[in-house]
Structure 1
Amino acid sequence: MEGHLDPADPMRLRISDSDRHAAAEVLREAAGEGRLDVDELEERLEATYAAKVYADLVPILADLPGTAPGPHPPAVRRPAAPAYSGRIEDLPRHTSSLAILSGQDRTGVWAVPPVHTAFTLMGGIDVDLREAVFTTPEVVINANAVMGGIDIIVNAATRVEVEGVGIMGAFEEGRAKIAAEIGPDSPLVRVRGMALMGAVTVIRKPMPGQGRTRLGRASS
Structure 2
Amino acid sequence: MPVPTKDRPVDAVREEVIDQLILNYSHGEISADAFERRLDKAYSIDDAEQLQALAADLPLQSDPRYHSEKQARMQPKFTASTDHPDTLSITSILSADQRSGEWVVPKHIKLNNYLGSIELDFRNAVFTHPEVTIEINCISGSDEIIVPDNIDVITSTTNILGHVSNNRVGLSSNTHTAQRPKLYIQGKVILGSVDISVKQTMQEKVKQFAHSLKSLFDEGKHS
Q: Give the alignment's TM-score, normalised by structure 2.
A: 0.50
Aligned to 1:142: 135
The separation in 2 between residues aligned to 1:158 and 1:203, in whole angstroms, is 11
Aligned to 1:194: 188
Q: 1:110 to 1:193 in 2, by over 3 A?
A: same
Structure 2 unaligned segments of length 5 or more: list them.
Answer: 1-70, 208-223
- Asked if 1:102 corresponds to 2:95, the answer is yes
Aligned length: 131
Q: Give the alignment's TM-score, normalised by structure 1.
A: 0.50
The separation in 2 between residues aligned to 1:138 and 1:83, in whole angstroms, is 13
The separation in 2 between residues aligned to 1:103 and 1:189, in whole angstroms, is 22
Paired residue secondary structure (1:140): strand
The separation in 2 between residues aligned to 1:105 and 1:157, in whole angstroms, is 21
The separation in 2 between residues aligned to 1:143 and 1:82, in whole angstroms, is 23
Does the 8 Å CA contact 2:86/2:107 hold for their aligned counterparts?
no
After the TM superposition, which residues 26-65 of structure 1 pair with which residues of structure 2 at under 5 Å, given as runs? none
Amino acid at match of 1:201: D
Structure 1 unaligned segments of length 5 or more: list them.
Answer: 1-76, 214-220
Residue 171 of structure 1, CA deviation: 2.1
Amino acid at match of 1:114: K
Does the 8 Å CA contact 1:94/1:113 hold for their aligned counterparts?
yes
The one-character-per-residue Cα deviations of 1:121-177 (angstroms, maximum 9, x if unpaired) are 00100011111111111100011211110011111101110111221111230479x
Aligned to 2:151: 158
After the TM superposition, which residues 1-220 of structure 1 pair with which residues of structure 2 at under 5 Å, given as runs? 80-81=74-75, 88=81, 95-174=88-167, 183-206=177-200
Q: Structure 1 stretches (4+) deviating beyond 2 angstroms?
A: 77-84, 86-94, 210-213
The one-character-per-residue Cα deviations of 1:192-219 (angstroms, maximum 9, x if unpaired) are 0111000012111218xx6899xxxxxx
Does the 8 Å CA contact 2:117/2:141 hold for their aligned counterparts?
yes
Q: 1:206 to 1:184 in 2, by over 3 A?
A: same
Question: What percentage of residue pairs aligned between the two structures are identical?
Answer: 29
Q: 1:94 to 1:103 in 2, by over 3 A?
A: farther
